[in-house]
Amino acid sequence: KIKLIKRRAYGYRNNEHFKIRISLETGRAN
């Protein structure tokens, strides 16, 4: 269970970073 939670948290963090990066890239492009 602990591993699953950790993995989920890690994935969530990566997703947030990905969204921020995409928004920055699109903002710069536009």
| Burial status of residue 5 (CB atoms within 10 A of its CB: 0-12, 13-18, 19 or more) | exposed
Task: Give residue 30's pLDDT.
Answer: 64
Q: Which two tokens stand for residue 18?
A: 């990905």
Q: What is the pLDDT of residues 1-30, one digit of tens each?
A: 778 878 887 878 888 889 999 999 888 876
Task: Give residue 10's pLDDT.
Answer: 81
Mind spelling out the 3-state secondary structure of 1-30? CHHHHHHHHHHHHHHHHHHHHHHHHHHHHC
**Predicted structure pTM score:** 0.47
Q: How many domains are there within the chain?
A: 1
* Domain around 8: 1-30
Task: Give residue 12's pLDDT.
Answer: 81
C-alpha 10/C-alpha 13 separation (Å) is 5
